[in-house]
């Protein structure tokens, strides 16, 4: 379900907002109305609806419900409470409601409740569900905050938010004074933002003795959490139903054949229930989707329809229980086959899942600070991840888990816990944030797993190159402004540079498009030629960044001239574009523009298409991405990175790949080391421009190479006047110069 599709009211209303994905039937109301006796809801002062009592019965059946008294007692007596429970035990929906009752009992004197989630769809869906259960309005008493979308008011009692949004809130509200209870959910996911919050909240709790912290986690992490936070109260919850586990030794080598066989065996058995398949990566999802759709079309219709649902964890989607209206419209039995990958466990919010197939491996991104690039590594999942996938079936009395590996493999090759993202990711954004909160005296952070010193040094070095740090290693004026943008620091720097080069409008569009999900649709088999023909209409000769501007402008023009939203969706479908991604880009761009206006950065009218504007956009991009330059070393599209000796090719959808005109030097947005080393989103740049805009000490630190020698020759030919101008530009970027025109709030 798309979060943006939900109307988010900003004021109290008697109308109740219910998500379509939830069961909205009234059920048997006899006897309920009799005992209702107009009992008032303490959160909004209105009488409870009959639906409230129906959902209350469902809540009382959750495994966690019997722990309510014990939890409330520990909440009153302790500052920190850990709740350990399997997936779907109810901790993510019930604990926040109990905390809201606690805040109500003390008249919100210390603030409301905030509950973090790692994934955006989960935060949205939980807010919808809890508002329904509490019988209040979504967007008023209960709301959610996710990147680039705020569905809350100043009066919101309980808000769900992604962990990175609560982390960003600490920049302006370091001690989180608007909250009386903070709930960190999905701790076992070990995201960077959650780990940072765990560390920073230690100091916040000392400064605010009245603040309560609740930590929701799977059982595997309890020992580590107990040693991290000390001897704190623990609530342990277990699901009701055992799960049958079937180990299929040797099936991993031919996983696609085994998956197909299992899916069709289950379907032919006649046993009802949806199937969830955990694959290694998105490419496997696409391949499996194609095969299952093709084979499924030949099945006996008497067995029911097989609906294949690709669920990409990075995109804004999740799987929910189909509502009664959907089932009424579909009299023929439908079985959903959900294809997902690692991190998809938290997106399965349906009780209709009866079968899970797990391949036991995942493809992870592991950042290498030496070469400033991600490597895609295929490796076994952890034992905790395997257990979480099993727990998806915890509410099903007859659930069955098929493991395409042996028990020996699970105990020998799988590590106990999922690796912390802190130890595998680029930390430049995290270090920028830590430098920002250091201004508020929260610079020290006791991480549960300390990041590698090499990663921290690389992050500090990059921030220094980007002029985000002063001579003492603290945030410069530029660094403070860069931290205002919820973007990668390199992208933030490019936006700041665009203010100098009079191309802010175009740079905001590029920033929105590269931050949103991929605007190109996943193509069905056989549609590649037609899609490429459509996409050629948007290609720009100066590079992929400019192509993205063309796509966004075409989408905007279509939106302005379309008679209805359906016409926009049809246009996107006809051009094989992802309408949801373009809507997201539109929202992101609007927020970035709002930040530009709030901190009073100069903004000029768009001039896209002129030669001067094209040059200015490249200058702005180079100001942030001078560390991501590659050169075609043999004239055939083999690009050697300037910072290391990795060779890559332009992505097949690049405008240069389509036109078969390979530039010698390119600036690129993304590069990962995998079986196909593709440079993604690349634009041609002149080496003279690079030498004028890249910091001299960055160039000096580059390893010896033929490319560096060529650049040195370029610099030698640049006149002393150019060097003087460059030094003057660097002076213009000093804090004294920006202080008068930029107000950071």
> 656-670: per-residue pLDDT in tens?
988 888 999 999 998
- For residues 490 and 627, the answer to whether their CB atoms sit within 8 Å is yes
Helix axes 579-598, 504-515, angle to 10 degrees: 130
At residue 395, the pLDDT reads 63
At residue 18, the pLDDT reads 36
- For residues 161 and 168, the answer to whether their CB atoms sit within 8 Å is no
Calculate the CA dihedral of residues 632, 635, 637, 643 and round it to 10 degrees.
-10
Q: Which two tokens stand for residue 230?
A: 């000390």
Please give the backbone phi and psi of residue 138, each rounded to the nearest 5 degrees, phi first. Answer: -70, 135
At residue 255, the pLDDT reads 76
At residue 737, the pLDDT reads 38
- Separation of alpha carbons 425 and 191, rounded Å: 10
At residue 313, the pLDDT reads 62
83: left (phi over 0), alpha (psi -120 to 50) or beta: beta
At residue 728, the pLDDT reads 47
The whole-angstrom distance between residue 497's C-alpha and the CA centroid of its chain comes to 26
Q: What's the rounded mean pLDDT across residues 566-578?
A: 94
9-23, 224-238, 276-290, 338-352: which has the minimum mean pLDDT? Answer: 9-23
Please give the backbone phi and psi of residue 593, each rounded to the nearest 5 degrees, phi first. Answer: -65, -40
pLDDT at 227 over 70: yes
At residue 562, the pLDDT reads 87
Give 305's pLDDT tier (boundaries 50, 70, 90).
confident
Give 316's pLDDT tier (boundaries 50, 70, 90).
very low
**Tokens 């100001």 — which residue?**
623
Instruction: DSSP letter for 30, please.
Output: T
Q: Is the dihedral of CA 711, 717, 720, 722 positive or negative?
A: negative
Closest by CA to 666, choosing from 678, 643, 650, is 650
> 448-507: per-residue pLDDT in tens?
888 888 999 999 999 999 999 999 999 999 999 999 999 999 999 999 999 999 999 999
pLDDT at 729 over 90: no
- Separation of alpha carbons 499 and 617, rounded Å: 11
Does 23 or 392 have the greater pLDDT score?
Answer: 392
At residue 251, the pLDDT reads 66
182-186, 307-311, 610-614: which has the minimum mean pLDDT? Answer: 307-311
pLDDT at 323 over 50: no
Report the half-sphere exposure of 35 (CA within 13 A, side-chain side). 7
- Separation of alpha carbons 124 and 162, rounded Å: 9
Give 30's pLDDT tier (boundaries 50, 70, 90).
very low
292-301, 312-321, 543-552, 558-567: which has the minimum mean pLDDT? Answer: 312-321
| Residue-averaged pLDDT of the chain | 85
Range list of H helices, 232-321: 255-269, 282-296
> 574-608: per-residue pLDDT in tens?
999 999 999 999 999 999 999 999 999 998 888 88
Ranges assigned E (strand) in 492-641:
629-632, 639-641
Percent of the residues in the chain that have a pLDDT greater than 70, as a whole number: 86
> 375-412: per-residue pLDDT in tens?
888 899 999 889 888 888 866 667 899 999 998 898 89
Q: Map 76-116 to HEC letters.
A: HHCCEEEEEECCCCCHHHHHHHHHHHHHHHCCCCCCEEEEE
Q: b/e map of 242-279 (b: 16 or more CB within 10 Å)?
A: ebebebbeebbeebeebbbebbbebbeeeeebbbbbbb
Query: How large is the greatest C-alpha to C-alpha distance in the chain, in angstroms?
Result: 91
> 674-697: per-residue pLDDT in tens?
777 889 999 999 999 999 999 988
Percent of the residues in the chain that have a pLDDT greater than 90, as a whole number: 54
């Amino acid at each position: 379900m798309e979060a943006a599709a939900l109307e988010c009211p900003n004021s109290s209303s008697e109308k109740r907002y219910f998500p379509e994905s939830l069961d909205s039937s009234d059920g048997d109301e006899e006897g309920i109305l009799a005992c209702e006796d107009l009992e008032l809801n303490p959160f909004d002062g209105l009488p409870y609806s009959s639906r409230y009592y129906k959902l209350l019965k469902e809540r009382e059946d959750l495994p966690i419900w019997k722990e309510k008294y014990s939890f409330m007692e520990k909440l009153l007596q302790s500052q920190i409470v850990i709740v350990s429970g399997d997936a779907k035990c109810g901790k993510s929906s019930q604990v926040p409601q109990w905390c809201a009752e606690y805040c109500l009992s003390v008249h919100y004197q210390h603030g409301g409740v905030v509950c973090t989630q790692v994934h955006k769809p989960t935060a949205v869906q939980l807010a919808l569900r809890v508002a329904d259960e509490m019988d209040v309005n979504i967007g008023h008493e209960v709301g959610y905050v996710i990147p680039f979308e705020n569905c809350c008011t100043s009066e919101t009692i309980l808000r769900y938010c992604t962990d990175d949004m609560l982390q960003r809130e600490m920049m302006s509200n370091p001690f989180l004074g608007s909250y009386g209870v903070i709930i960190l959910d999905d701790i076992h996911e070990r995201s960077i933002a959650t780990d940072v919050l765990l560390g920073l909240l230690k100091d916040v709790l000392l400064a605010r003795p009245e603040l309560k912290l609740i930590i929701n986690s799977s059982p595997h992490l309890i020992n580590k959490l107990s040693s991290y936070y000390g001897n704190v109260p623990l609530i342990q919850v277990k699901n009701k139903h055992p799960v049958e586990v079937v180990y299929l030794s040797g099936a991993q080598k031919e996983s696609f054949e085994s998956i197909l066989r299992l899916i069709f065996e289950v379907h032919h058995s006649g046993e009802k229930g949806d199937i969830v398949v955990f694959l290694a990566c998105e490419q496997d999802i696409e391949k499996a989707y194609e095969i299952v759709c093709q084979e499924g079309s030949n099945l006996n219709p008497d067995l029911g329809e097989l609906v294949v649902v690709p669920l990409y964890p990075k995109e804004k989607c999740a799987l929910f229980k189909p509502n009664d209206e959907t089932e009424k419209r579909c009299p023929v039995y439908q079985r959903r086959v959900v294809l997902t990958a690692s991190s998809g466990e938290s997106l399965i919010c349906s009780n209709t899942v009866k079968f899970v197939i797990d391949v036991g491996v995942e493809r992870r991104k592991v950042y290498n600070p030496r070469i400033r690039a991600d490597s895609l590594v295929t490796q076994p999942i952890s034992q905790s991840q395997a257990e979480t996938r099993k727990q998806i079936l915890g509410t099903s009395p007859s659930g069955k888990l098929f493991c395409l590996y042996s028990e020996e493999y699970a105990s020998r090759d799988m590590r106990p816990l999922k690796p912390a993202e802190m130890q595998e990711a680029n930390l430049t954004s995290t270090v920028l944030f830590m430098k920002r909160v250091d201004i508020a005296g929260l610079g020290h952070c006791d991480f549960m797993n300390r990041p590698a010193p090499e990663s921290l040094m690389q992050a500090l070095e990059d921030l220094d190159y980007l002029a985000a740090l002063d001579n003492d290693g603290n945030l410069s004026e530029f660094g403070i402004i860069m931290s205002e943008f919820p973007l990668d620091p390199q992208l933030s720097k490019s936006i700041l540079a665009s203010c100098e080069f009079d191309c802010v409008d175009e740079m905001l569009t590029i920033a929105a498009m590269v931050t949103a999900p991929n605007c190109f649709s996943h193509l069905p088999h056989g549609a590649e030629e037609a899609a490429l023909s459509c996409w050629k209409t948007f290609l720009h000769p100066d590079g992929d960044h400019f192509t993205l501007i063309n796509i966004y402008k075409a989408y905007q023009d279509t939106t302005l001239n379309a008679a209805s939203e359906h016409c926009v969706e049809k246009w996107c479908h006809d051009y094989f574009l992802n309408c949801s991604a373009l809507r997201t880009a539109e929202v992101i761009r609007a927020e970035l523009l709002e930040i530009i206006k709030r901190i009073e950065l100069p903004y000029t009218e768009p001039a896209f298409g002129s030669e001067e504007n094209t040059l200015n956009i490249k200058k702005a991009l180079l100001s942030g991405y001078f560390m991501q330059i590659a050169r075609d070393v043999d004239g055939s599209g083999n690009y050697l990175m300037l910072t290391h000796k990795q060779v890559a090719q332009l992505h097949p959808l690049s405008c240069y790949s389509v036109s078969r005109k390979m530039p010698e030097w390119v600036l690129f947005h993304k590069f990962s080391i995998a079986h196909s080393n593709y440079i993604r989103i690349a634009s041609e740049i002149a080496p003279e421009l690079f030498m004028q805009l890249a910091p001299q000490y960055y160039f000096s630190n580059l390893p010896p190479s033929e490319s560096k020698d060529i650049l040195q020759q370029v610099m030698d030919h640049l006149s002393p006047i150019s060097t003087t101008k460059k030094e003057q530009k660097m002076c213009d970027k000093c804090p004294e110069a920006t202080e008068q025109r930029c107000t950071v709030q």
